Structure formats: C-alpha cells, structure tokens
Structure 1
Amino acid sequence: MKLLAEVIEQLARKKIVKDPDTILSLIPDNSIVAMSGFNMITAPEFLIERLYKLYIKTGHPKKLFLISDTFPGAPGRGLDRIAKMIYERKDEDFIDGTLFPYYGWSESLQKMVREEWFDAYAWSIGIMAYWFREVGSGRPGVLTKVGLYTTADPRFDGTAINEKGKKMRRVKVHLINIDGEEFLLYTAPKPQFALLRATTADEMGNLSLEDEAAYGTVLNIAQTIKAMPNKGVNIAQVLRIARYGSINPKDVEVPGPLVDYVVISPREYHWQSASFDYDPSVSGKIIPPLSRESLTQVELNHRKIIARRVMLELLELLKKYGRQVIVNLGVGIPATVADVAVEEEVQDLIVLTVESGTWGGKPLYGADFGASIGPFAILSVPDQFTMYEGGIIDAASLGFMQVDKYGNVNSFIMPSRLPGPGGFPAIAAGSPQIFFAGEFTAGDRVIEIHDGKLKIIKDGDIIKFVKEVYRVGCSGKILSRANKNALYITERAVFKKADEGIELLEIAPGIDLEKDILNKMEFKPIIIKEPKLMDQRIFYPRRMGIKEEAIEAIKR
C-alpha cells in the first residue's frame, strides 16, 4: 500500500500543474487546438486567458487553428475577451483559422473573420459534436444529410464563412452518393491539443463535472485528441483536486488516463454560466419548487406574443398525442417560450430541451442560454443531437433572420452580422415539426398591444420576408421533400410552408393586411382564403389559461 501511495503521489506531481505556462508552452506554433465550451458552460476560461498571455509574453504559440464544440465564452468573457485584446493589439499572428458553430457572442472575432485575418468555418453544433465522436472512433468525419441545399453544401459555400475559407478549404464538406441518395461528409484536420474543463480531478486525473451546468462534449474532445494516428495532449481546468478513488466511478466523465495535465483554476475564471458563479438548481443538485405565487408574469410585448403563439402549437401537439411532448427551443425569441411554459404551468407536460443537453426545468436565454433551472435530465451534446437529428423529439421552435418566397430560412449570417449556425441546421433537418419564430420586420420599431389588438406605431425598416435569402440555413426544398409541418410565426402573421412557397394563414387583430403585412414583404405570399385572426387570448396581459386544456388532453 505504501508503494502504491508513492506511485500515485508521483503521478499526481506530474499531472497536477501549478503553473499553467509550463504546460501551455508545450503547444508549438501552427498547432490545431480544440476547446470545450457551450458559451461559458464547460469553457476553460482560465486556460484560454493564460494561453494568450503566454503568447503576449513570448510570441508563442502562434498561428493556432482553433476548434470548439460551440463557442468557449460569452460577451466579455472567455474567448470573446481574448478576441477583443487580439483585435485591439492587432495580433494577427495568434489565430490562423477557426471552426466554430457560433460566433455570435464575439463582435471582435466576427470582425476578424469579415476582415479576412484567417480562414473561418462554421458547422452546426450537432455536426461538430458528432465530428469529435467520429474522429475519436477513427472515422474520417460525419456522414449526414444535414446541410443539403444549404450554405453548407459544397455546391455552395461548403461551411466556409469568409473568402479565405472558400479559397483554402482546409475544412471540407464532400457530396457523397449512396444508392442514389445524397449525403454530406464533413471533414476537418484532427487537433493535437485540447483545453478542457471539469469541476473536480482526482490525483490520477479522473474528471467529474458535478458543478457544471451540462456535460457538453468534453469526453468526446478528449477521445479525439487521444485517437490514432497522432495522439495528442489533453489539458484540463478544474476547481479542485480530490483523493484518488474518492470520485464515484459513475460520476467520472473523462477517465484519468486520457488526461495529461490538470490545472486548478481561480474561481473567477470558472463560473457556471455567463451571469452567475454557481447555482445548485442549474447543476442538477436540486430541482426547486415552482409555486403559482413564485411565477413572474413576463411583460406582454410583441416578443411574448410570438412565444405564446408557438406555445399554442405545442398545446395542439399535446392534444394530438395525449402525452408529454418533447420540444427543442432555439436561441432568441424561441427561448422565451420557456417563460410562457412556466407562466402557464405546463412545463412538466411540454418538455423543453436545449442543445446543451438539458431536459425540463426553465431554460435560460441570452448569454446564459444552455443552462436550465431545475432540469430533470442532462445529456451530453452528441446524445442530445441524436434526439434532434433523428427526429426523436416532437417539434422544434427556431429563430430566423430572413425567410424567402421558397420557404428557405436564413438563421445565421448577414453581410454585417455573423452569429453562426449554432444548432439550427441539424435541428431543422431532423425535427418532425418546426415552428420558426421571429419578428416580422427588424430595425427600430414601436409596437403596442391594447384591448386585445396589435398596433404598429412605427415599423422596422429592415424587411425579413425577402425574395431570396442571403444564405440558406434551412432549405425549403428539403422541407417539402420531407413533407414537414413548418410554420413561420411572427407577432402579426402566421405562414405555413406550402409546395409552391409560403401560405398566409393568420393575422393579428388590429393589423391591416395590405399596410402592415403585404407592403412589408418583398414577395406576395400564397393567400387561398381570408386569413383567420390569431387566438385572442395571446393579446391580453392575463394568462392564457391553457393548463386545464393540457391536463385534460393527458387524461384522455
């Protein structure tokens, strides 16, 4: 026993590193570095910070190609904070390329991409997470139908999001034909180093994530690094060190032999999410009670009207199936559907999931998107996207920037904005029913709700229903081929995908069809019959009162 203890102590001395610079300096120039992170969830903020400071001090490592399962940061934190410093200092040598599903939290990084500092690419979160798992299994990449006839298709941009990316094609998407069916194969260079994050490491390097808001893709990234032919180095940031053998084996997310080095992070670089340090109801330690008295009614505005209209579609699904329904909520307005679910007390019947892996509870939004208060289950990101891409869920509500006359949706890129696809492409491809949710116009608007009617005081000057979208994130052709029920829900009108385009179904009370809808579109929608009025309950401050309808549907 004494000999074993000495060996463990010796291994711990090698793995647990006090000065991260000694380990980060092992990363050579021109390396491909993977970083875990779903926003601030599982983002190794301390390691990212120290890596860039090492570059400032020594000029190395430089020319790094960075890959992440989502984006390791949030506004002012993690990679965004570093990107701001890089942009201000004009350190063009630090980053040599990027492959991220999401760039939306970092204006500085988006500027660098648009200004062609390096080649940049964007995959769906699901494709990215699967890619880590596939490469870790020794396979060349991800084979899927996700992305066909969208900007990801190699017949178009092939996931490159700037001119350097289109020219270099360091990250590739291949069009494959199998028995007469088209598929896409996503490939990218294998990383040699990974910066990971966990909560606790024991003396052998076993990692647990008990205080994190989700599991993310941490294990799969670690597996990718250790896969053949070139086994790389995994560096993990943790809050604490435990005695070897003291972590429950079922709580070990990454086995110690996969972890080369462990660095203890100061608490300020290891927040659970963007706006808070730690909440046990987010990590799954407790599920807080939700009493009617504790429910805060969200102010009635045009965004809530959209969320309520989506909720009524989910109620119809619950009535149709007579059971709980499983739903994905995207970023932006769709995420606010969670507030409506809690307000109406139906969050246990309409089960809300988000890409990070959470099930149930109240999903948060903004920079905290991915964290949920009181989830009853949390999966890894690849396992969560199996639910989405495989159509195991019942429906999804996703945001949009533009919709065109063919029903194509642009969700992630404009000339002046580059948020990235996020989970959108894989969810849109797999979900049996999709409720696209967004504001009818963009820009400076004043919209009021009085006496159950919507009034446009000042409309936005940016048209969102256009003849042709800037980039295709979801193909109307694929929606029609799959015969999906797809609705486009706004505060003033509801459309559905039809074979010939999109059909106008409903308008809000108080809205003038010609002035407020048709004159604000670049094309004329299909109008077969006079549009119905949207459900009056949506436009009053009081609760819609759908709880009783939902319970009755389950009883039947």
Structure 2
Amino acid sequence: MKTKQLNVDEAVARIPDGATIALTGSGGGLLEADLVFAALAERFRRTGHPRDLTLVHALGIGDGKGGGLGHFAQKGMVKRIIGGHWSWAPELQRMAREGEIEAYTLPAGVISTLLREVGAGRPGVITPIGLGTFADPEHGGGKVGPAASEDIVERIELDGRPYLRYKPIRVDVGIVRGSRADLHGNISTADEPADMDAYAVALAAHNCGGFVIGQVKEIQNGPFVPARQVTIPGVMVNVLVHHPEQRQSYAGEYDPAISGQALPKGRAERKEGPSGIRRIIASLAARELKAGMTVNYGFGIPGGISAVSDPQVISNCWEMVEQGIHNGELLDGALFGAARYPQAIVSSLEQFDFFAGGGLDIAFLGMGEMDAQGNVNVSQLGASVVGPGGFVEITQGARKVVFCGSFEAKGLDVAVENGALRFNSMGEIPKLVDQVRHVTFSGAEAIRREQEVFYVTERAIFRLTGEGVELVAVVKGVDVQRDVIERMAFRPLVRDVAEIALAGC
C-alpha cells in the first residue's frame, strides 16, 4: 500500500474548518514542518479557510519572528490553543492575553502523553504531575487568558490519594516531519536532532479517524534498511509532502554531529560558557553537582551550567534534556534541546516518562519569580502566557531541584572583583515576591514529596524547609540586610549564613 504524495497546497487543502491539529517540534527548528505551516497560513490569507482551528503542541515551535507557530497568528484562523510552551510565538501570546483565542497551557510531557493515550483509546492521562500548580483545577486548571472557560483538567482521588485527570482530546489532523520516507509512507527521523513526540502525534490523529501529513526532505524508492530507522510506520501516514530544501534546524541544512551520526574527532574543546550574571549564577549552581548524578538542564541560565562545571565531575554525570537527548555536547541558546555527538536520542515522550517517574538525581531550572512558600513561576510572566515546557515533570520528579535566576530584573548590573560581587546598579523589578502570579512549582508539594530544593541567585542562595524559605549563603561583598532582606517582599529564615567567594567569574 502506497502513501499518497501531494504538493503542499493540495495537502493543506484537506484540512477542514474547526479541525483539531496536533503538531510536533521544538525551538530552533527541531522537527518543525515549516513548509506545511507556511502553506496552511497562506491558504487562510487567500481563502479564509481553514478557520477556527484548535492547535495542540507540547513544546515551543518557532523563532519568535513569525516562523513556526507564528504562522497561525491570524485572526479567525485559530480558535483554541493547548500548548506547552508559547515563547517562540509572541503574537499568539498577545492574542491569548487579549482574549482573541481560547488559551490553555499544560505540562509538555502531559500533552505528549495525552496524545499517546488518545491514540490508544484510553480515558486521558491520570497522574500526580501538576498537583498544586497552575494545571490543578484548584489553581486555574491550565486556563490562561480571558477566553478560556472549558474545564480540560479535573482533580480525582484514587486509593485515598489526589491525582489530576487530563481529559482526552479528539485529534483530526497530525502534522509531523521526518528526514526521509519511502513509497509506503514509512518516515525516518534519522537525520533529525530529535524524535520529539512525532509518533504520538501521528498515532492520535490516525486512531481518532483523522489523517496525518508528513513533511520530509527526501522520498526514496526502496524500503529502509535496517527497518529500525523508521520512526513512524506508513500505516499511520496519509499524505507525504516532499520538501527538498528542508533544513535540519535554523542553524543549518545538515550537521551529522547533531543527529548523532558522527563521532567527535579527538578530544572535544572546552566550551567557553556564559558570561556576566548568567555565569555567576551558573557557577554557584554548579556547586550542587556531584559525580555519578543523572542531571537535567532547563532553558536559560541552567543551559550554561555544564560549561562552567568541573570537567571531572561532568564526565562522570549523565546529562539530558527534555527533547530526548542524552549526553554529548549539549547546545545552548536558540538550539537548546539538541546536542553535538549525543550518546542516545529517544522520543521526548519516553524522556518525560523517565523524568516523571523519578529518574533524575538533580535538575537545574530557571526561575521567573519565587515566593515565601517556595513556589516558583516561569509559566506566566507579566501578562503573557509563557507555558512551562517540561518544567513541571522535571521539577516534580527530580530528587533535588536547583532553581537559577537573577535576584531582580530590569537594570541589574554587577561586576566581580577579587572574588567579591559589586553592584553597579540594582534591578527595578523584584523577583522574590510575597506570592507568585502563576504556580509552576509548588513548594508545599515539594515538602510533601521530601525533595531537596535550592534557589540560586547572583547574590544569595536559599533553601526550602518545612518551616519556610531559608537564606543559607551570600556571595562575598553582599550585605545580608541591605542587599538581600530589604530587597525581598518576604523575610526568609536566617540562621547560619555562609559566605561564598566567586572564582572564575
């Protein structure tokens, strides 16, 4: 049985008004079906159809400049979005904020798992992931923006314990991408930086009675040898779109090191790492790393921790990120989520299972706001929805969590002299607040789970205890009262405060 090959305009013409579309991809152009997205947007501009779409995606897709999800930011084209990460599509963030679309955000791993469960005909996802956070109906149930009203999450009890049930979603269309396909529609992601949740997207659409569009760079005449190269079997693919100009990522057309198809030549050069405040925080956080740990890094400041850590320690740790990458030279910035010379690439769905089930010894994550209860917000900053990405699964599953962020925002300027911190100017926006506006990490849930939790800034380090947030260390040159306590919205516990001299910053 051969899969039908269509040009991209013919493929997107099959998508009806009101369809629910599941997408795969991640920032930096990873597994992004860019040609299909652009054609779909152009068809809407030209004809006004398809309109009133629902988009479902686990991770952020785009470049922040109109690519990726940004193609869908047209009034009337989208009715609802259930997204795990929104930062790469600022115009959709605006539409959500102003009520032009029904906006929801859920943990990325939950969304990927939900697609798999929908494809398997099961009644949604039942999990403790999200309890006590924005995803919990007691804290909003994932609704963001004024137009969202439907309850898509419910709180239930099993064997006397609370869980969240994320309700199933009927998927009409799946849009996936691969490197190559054969004439039977089998799709391989062998040349891609990550597999993401492409299989789950295709499974959900196919088994809901919908159809799957697969964008590929190459269509080959013969079958894949070995057959294990196939990521999505052709039985789930209805339409192939050939895109010979497809790029592996925004960084370039193809790099075999990023797809794990090449080995490093000689010893890898030490990465330079971040600079300024970001380097200071990363260096302080790296003190928590110990040889033998399984470790995850989040986007932002945590992405630079590996580069500033002791090479002997790092070489004896197992590093990974939520996109499914294990070890290798983890990339930072726009290509966060990929690595050069990875040792293993698994689906993001399998990676999230590992995280949620407690596979991590330590996780380093960003910190937008932190409050007196030890809660952290990264999912809604200001009035805009950002979404958590994999933050919730990672922070609720790791044995030890280290949050990394500047003490203040907007205008903070510091320097390091002789191991001491000097403030050139303080920040205008406080980040250690009385109560965070969106609970992405619940301090109370962490205490219940007996997790070890630290909050690292450029001037002070805090720890979560059963009695509250405790100040445990300050950087040399910092006055505890003037530079820390008086610039917080709550008073931390203060007992034995250590002083840390900065080195290599």
- State the TM bucket, normalised to the shorter chain: over 0.9
Partner of 1:484: 451
- Separation (CA, whole Å) in 1 of partners of 2:67 and 2:199: 20
* Alignment-mate amino acid for residue 263 of structure 2: I
**Is the contact between residue 388 and residue 431 of structure 1 (CA under 8 Å) also seen in structure 2?**
yes
Partner of 1:16: 5
Partner of 2:306: 338
Q: 2:273 aligns with which of 277, 294, 298?
A: 298
Aligned pairs for 1:125-524 (under 5 A) are: 125-165=108-148, 167-169=149-151, 172-227=152-207, 230-267=208-245, 270-289=246-265, 291=267, 294-298=269-273, 300-315=275-290, 318=291, 324-341=292-309, 344=311, 346-524=313-491
- Separation (CA, whole Å) in 1 of partners of 2:434 and 2:14: 52
> Alpha-carbon deviation of 1:81?
4.1
Partner of 2:499: 533
**Is the contact between residue 46 and residue 266 of structure 1 (CA under 8 Å) also seen in structure 2?**
no
> Alpha-carbon deviation of 1:71?
2.6
Change (3 A) 1:126 1:246: closer
> Alpha-carbon deviation of 1:188?
4.2
The superposition leaves residues 237-284 of structure 1 with CA deviations (integer Å, 9 ceiling, x where unpaired) of 0000112324421111111111111001142xx322233332111100
> Alpha-carbon deviation of 1:410?
0.9
* Alignment-mate amino acid for residue 288 of structure 2: E
> Alpha-carbon deviation of 1:179?
1.3
**Is the contact between residue 360 and residue 375 of structure 1 (CA under 8 Å) also seen in structure 2?**
yes
> Alpha-carbon deviation of 1:78?
3.1
Q: Please state whether the residue corresponding to 1:503 is helix, strand or coil.
A: strand
- CA RMSD in angstroms comes to 1.6
Change (3 A) 1:298 1:370: closer
> Alpha-carbon deviation of 1:300?
4.6
* Alignment-mate amino acid for residue 317 of structure 2: I
**Is the contact between residue 20 and residue 55 of structure 2 (CA under 8 Å) also seen in structure 1?**
yes
- Separation (CA, whole Å) in 1 of partners of 2:265 and 2:408: 38
Q: 2:23 aligns with which of 35, 40, 61?
A: 35
Aligned residues, how many?
A: 504
Partner of 1:93: 76
- Separation (CA, whole Å) in 1 of partners of 2:5 and 2:83: 29
> Alpha-carbon deviation of 1:303?
1.2
**Is the contact between residue 15 and residue 50 of structure 2 (CA under 8 Å) also seen in structure 1?**
yes
Q: Please state whether the residue corresponding to 2:489 is helix, strand or coil.
A: coil
Q: Please state whether the residue corresponding to 1:397 is helix, strand or coil.
A: strand
* Alignment-mate amino acid for residue 164 of structure 2: L
**Is the contact between residue 347 and residue 360 of structure 1 (CA under 8 Å) also seen in structure 2?**
no
**Is the contact between residue 403 and residue 464 of structure 1 (CA under 8 Å) also seen in structure 2?**
yes
**Is the contact between residue 43 and residue 78 of structure 1 (CA under 8 Å) also seen in structure 2?**
no
Change (3 A) 1:103 1:499: same
- Separation (CA, whole Å) in 2 of partners of 1:246 and 1:253: 11
> Alpha-carbon deviation of 1:435?
0.6
* Alignment-mate amino acid for residue 499 of structure 2: L
Q: Please state whether the residue corresponding to 2:355 is helix, strand or coil.
A: helix
**Is the contact between residue 224 and residue 230 of structure 2 (CA under 8 Å) also seen in structure 1?**
no
Q: Please state whether the residue corresponding to 2:494 is helix, strand or coil.
A: coil
Q: Please state whether the residue corresponding to 1:146 is helix, strand or coil.
A: coil
* Alignment-mate amino acid for residue 194 of structure 1: G
**Is the contact between residue 29 and residue 63 of structure 1 (CA under 8 Å) also seen in structure 2?**
yes
**Is the contact between residue 22 and residue 175 of structure 2 (CA under 8 Å) also seen in structure 1?**
yes
Q: Please state whether the residue corresponding to 2:25 is helix, strand or coil.
A: coil
| Residue ranges of structure 1 left out of the alignment (5+ in a row) | 1-7, 319-323, 542-556
Partner of 2:67: 78
**Is the contact between residue 402 and residue 465 of structure 1 (CA under 8 Å) also seen in structure 2?**
yes
- State the TM-score, normalizing by the size of structure 2: 0.96
- Separation (CA, whole Å) in 1 of partners of 2:82 and 2:250: 22
- Separation (CA, whole Å) in 2 of partners of 1:345 and 1:271: 36
- Separation (CA, whole Å) in 2 of partners of 1:289 and 1:389: 35
| Residue ranges of structure 2 left out of the alignment (5+ in a row) | none
> Alpha-carbon deviation of 1:65?
0.6
Change (3 A) 1:302 1:478: same
Partner of 1:4: none
Q: 2:45 aligns with which of 50, 56, 61?
A: 56
Q: Please state whether the residue corresponding to 2:384 is helix, strand or coil.
A: coil
* Alignment-mate amino acid for residue 250 of structure 2: A
* Alignment-mate amino acid for residue 503 of structure 2: F
Q: Please state whether the residue corresponding to 2:49 is helix, strand or coil.
A: coil
Q: 2:91 aligns with which of 99, 105, 108?
A: 108
- Separation (CA, whole Å) in 2 of partners of 1:206 and 1:380: 17
**Identity across aligned pairs (percent)?**
31
Identify the structure with the greater strand proportion. Answer: 2
**Is the contact between residue 33 and residue 194 of structure 1 (CA under 8 Å) also seen in structure 2?**
yes
- Separation (CA, whole Å) in 2 of partners of 1:260 and 1:540: 55
- State the TM-score, normalizing by the size of structure 1: 0.88
> Alpha-carbon deviation of 1:106?
1.5
* Alignment-mate amino acid for residue 236 of structure 2: L
Change (3 A) 1:266 1:520: farther
> Larger C-alpha radius of gyration, 1 or 2?
1
* Alignment-mate amino acid for residue 398 of structure 2: S
Q: Please state whether the residue corresponding to 1:163 is helix, strand or coil.
A: coil
> Alpha-carbon deviation of 1:519?
1.5
- Separation (CA, whole Å) in 1 of partners of 2:127 and 2:327: 28
**Is the contact between residue 338 and residue 362 of structure 1 (CA under 8 Å) also seen in structure 2?**
no
> Alpha-carbon deviation of 1:105?
1.2
* Alignment-mate amino acid for residue 181 of structure 1: R
The superposition leaves residues 441-464 of structure 1 with CA deviations (integer Å, 9 ceiling, x where unpaired) of 111121001111111110111111
**Is the contact between residue 449 and residue 539 of structure 1 (CA under 8 Å) also seen in structure 2?**
no
